[in-house]
């Protein structure tokens, strides 16, 4: 029976960390910055503590469902993807959530831990060089696909490919802003800094 664990994983994913924390901070993250409920907007719009706590919750939403069904790779990945769907389209918050990256990382920590170093290294390197968090997330997920093809089996390859397409779709606004030259940069961590309006 795979429907029940997938449904429960979706519900876990639907718990929005930034909106729960927003009750404490007395804010609605969906009215700030990019109006996205994910960790990047939480960090950019509210601050380091709020962003970090949001990321930890998002990460846990990927870890928990996969850990609870650990043993069957296909079921682990199905539950992991269900949690990602819940994060992006949370039933508790009118289907308006984050972009799935933090929850995906949580899934990988349990389901494919050997890939985590490469994914994080790609993300960090890209952010330092470009300042674009969205671009870095997409590149990191692409590296996950490459890693899966090189070192894993079909269930992981399919999961990685689906996750990559899902991440690309969720970052379509970022792609458009980059094309127009309006995408915000995380300039505080950039190795080669440029003065740009809207940078962090």
Q: What is the pLDDT of residue 195?
A: 54
Q: What is the pLDDT of residue 194?
A: 61
- Average pLDDT value for residue range 178-198: 74
pLDDT band at residue 198 using 50, 70 and 90 as cut-offs: very low
pLDDT band at residue 197 using 50, 70 and 90 as cut-offs: very low
pLDDT band at residue 193 using 50, 70 and 90 as cut-offs: low
Give me the chain's average pLDDT, please. 91
Nearest residue to 63 (alpha-carbon basis) of 79, 49, 86: 79
Higher per-residue pLDDT: 190 or 19: 19
Among the ranges given (31-35, 59-63, 145-149, 162-166), the one the predictor scored with the smallest mean pLDDT? 31-35
Which tens digit of pLDDT belongs to each residue from 128-149?
999 899 999 999 999 999 999 9
**Distance from C-alpha of 164 to C-alpha of 138, rounded to nearest angstrom:** 7
Model pTM score: 0.90
């Amino acid at each position: 029976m795979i429907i029940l664990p997938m449904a429960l994983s979706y519900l876990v994913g639907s718990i929005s960390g930034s909106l729960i924390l927003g009750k404490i901070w007395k804010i609605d993250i969906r009215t700030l910055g990019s109006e996205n409920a994910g960790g990047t907007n939480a960090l950019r719009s509210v601050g380091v503590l709020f962003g970090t706590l949001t990321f930890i919750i998002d990460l846990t939403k990927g870890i928990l469902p996969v850990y609870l069904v650990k043993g069957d790779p296909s079921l682990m990945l199905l539950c992991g993807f269900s949690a990602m769907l819940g994060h992006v389209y949370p039933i508790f918050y009118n289907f308006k959530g984050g972009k799935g990256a933090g929850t995906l990382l949580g899934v990988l920590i349990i389901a494919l831990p050997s890939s985590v170093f490469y994914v994080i290294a790609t993300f960090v390197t890209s952010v330092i060089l470009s300042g674009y968090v969205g671009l870095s997330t997409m590149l990191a997920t692409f590296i996950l696909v490459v890693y899966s093809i090189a070192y894993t089996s079909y269930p992981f390859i399919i999961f990685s490919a689906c996750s990559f397409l899902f991440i690309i779709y969720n970052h379509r606004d970022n792609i458009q802003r980059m094309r127009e030259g309006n995408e915000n940069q995380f300039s505080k961590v950039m190795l080669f800094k440029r003065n740009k309006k809207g940078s962090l």
